[in-house]
Amino acid sequence: MTRAGFINAFPLGRHVPQGLKPAFFRARNGMAEAVPYPKPIYETSSRLWRILFAVSLTLVSAGCTRKPGAAFALKPAGFGAALVESSGGKQIGATGSVLAQPLVVQVNDEQGTAVTGALVEFSGPAGVSFDPPSGLTDSSGQLNTNVALGGRAGRYQLIAHTTTKAQKAVELKIEEIALGYQQQVGFQLDNKYCARCHNPESTAERVSNYDNLAVKPHPFTEGDTLNKMSDAELTAIISHGGPALNKSALMPPYGYTLSKTEIEALIAYIRLISDPPYHASGMVYAQE
């Protein structure tokens, strides 16, 4: 309760005592890491705490009201009818880290031509942050934002949001994947050992061997096939190779090359990137 008093005593930019900052600057920076608790205590706690929090909240809001989004009060100069993803969707990054490519969305009108100056706002599950979180589209109708995913491994559904001239909301859902420690290790093992054959896409650094194989391997995103296989089956085929399970001899055994934890990590990674999603990995949905 004393906090409101403290905040007023210290103007912005001065050394503010540490305990006050996160709540105070949350609105401005939008750092989602500062709010890891979906249910704040005043909602769920006992009556006593509820009253105390209500009082302190009133004091705080009376003392220093800073409306969220006030700093980004952008006036749209144009209105579109549709939102499309230009690039940056379906990326794979580490938990908490900034995705390698920025997310680019485009606002179009009814005729499909790009709209300049339309206001687009991004939102996502707790922990996701956008830089910038909202903005106006440029002359080609596009808006870029750098996305940092949350601290939890999984699929993240991000939402880009704009309004039409009639104030109707238009939404675009974009999916990104965050790798935790285990999946991160799996990702690197995949890159080193598996992707040359299992990934049909070639890059400049790595030419895919997929087309050269008489029996085609399953790409790791092929959820329709791989989701039906249990972890034990995947472990068996990775460690013992194709022939041991009556499958293609082109798949060599990796049981003498990779450790048990490495194989577990690889499977955790395969489960996370499969499309359609593997049921056990679950989905991190936006909460609002």
Partner 1 sequence: MQSLKNTLSSLWQTLFGHPVRAFGVVSLLLLISLAIAPAKNYFSEWRHYQKQYLKLVRSRGEAVTLERHFHEHEGIQQIWLPEFGVVDRCTTCHVGLKEASLADVSTQPFRRHPVIPHTLDQFGCVMCHRGQGPATIVEEAHRSTLAWEQPILPARYVQSSCGQCHRASLTGTPQLNLGRYLLGRYGCVHCHTIKLPDGSAIKPTDDPPSLEHIADKTTREWIYAWLKDPQAYAVSATMPNFKLNDPDARDISAFLIANSTALAGDTAPVTKNEKAPDPTAGASLYGESFCSSCHAVQNAAGNVVGGDVGPELTRVGTKVKPEWLRAWLRNPRVYDSGTAMPHYRFSDPQVSLLAGFLGNKTDSDLLANVHLDAPTPEQIAHGKLLVTEYGCASCHEISGIKKPDNFAPELTHVGSKPLTQIIFLPGMTHAIPDYIAAKIREPRSFGSALKMPQFSLAPAQIDALTTALLSLTDRAHDLPSALTVPAKPPSNYQPAGKAGQLMADLACFSCHAINGRGGDMAPDLTWEGSSVQRPWLQAFLKNPGTLRPALIRRMPKFNLSDDDAKELTDYIMTVYQTPAFDRDSMPSSGYPPAQVEQGKQLFYSKYACQSCHIVDAKVDKGYVGPTLTQVGSRLTAAWIYHWLKDPQTMRPGAIEPNRNMNDEDARALTAFLMTQKGSSKQEAKK
Q: Is 157 among the residues that bind partner 1 (CB under 8 A)?
A: no
Give dist(CA 254, CA 238) in Å, integer.
Answer: 6
Residue 279 CB, nearest distance to partner 1 (Å)?
10
Euclidean distance between CA atoms 15 and 212, whole angstroms: 64
Is 185 a binding residue for partner 1 by CB under 8 A? The answer is: yes
Candidates 100, 95, 157; CA nearest to 125 is 157
Q: Which of residues 210-269 bind partner 1 (CB under 8 A)?
A: 212-213, 242-243, 248-250, 252-257, 261, 264, 268
Query: In the set 8, 58, 61, 97, which binds partner 1 (CB under 8 A)?
Result: 97
Between residue 121 and residue 140, which ones bind partner 1 under the rule CB under 8 A? 127, 131
Task: Give how far the C-alpha of residue 122 lies from the chain's centroid of Cα atoms, to the nearest Å.
Answer: 12
Please confirm whether the linkage preceding 132 is cis (ω < 30° from 0). Answer: yes
Establish if 110 lies at the interface with partner 1 (CB under 8 A).
Answer: no
Q: Which of 15, 67, 75, 228 binds partner 1 (CB under 8 A)?
A: 15
Q: Does residue 12 interact with partner 1 by CB under 8 A?
A: yes
CA 98 – CA 133 distance, rounded (Å): 14
Near partner 1 by CB under 8 A: residue from 56, 209, 221, 235 = 209
Smaller CB separation from partner 1, 46 or 139:
46
Between the alpha carbon of residue 168 and those of residues 25, 82, 163, 164, 165, the distances in Å are: 31, 11, 5, 5, 7
- Residue 44 or 58 with smaller CB distance to partner 1: 44
Strands 82-87 and 154-163: unpaired
13 near partner 1, rule: CB under 8 A:
yes
Among positions 67, 205, 232, 259, the unique one binding partner 1 when judged by CB under 8 A: 205
Is 69 a binding residue for partner 1 by CB under 8 A? The answer is no
- Report, in Å, the least distance between residue 81 CB and partner 1: 30
Residue from 8, 51, 171, 181 binding partner 1 (CB under 8 A) = 181
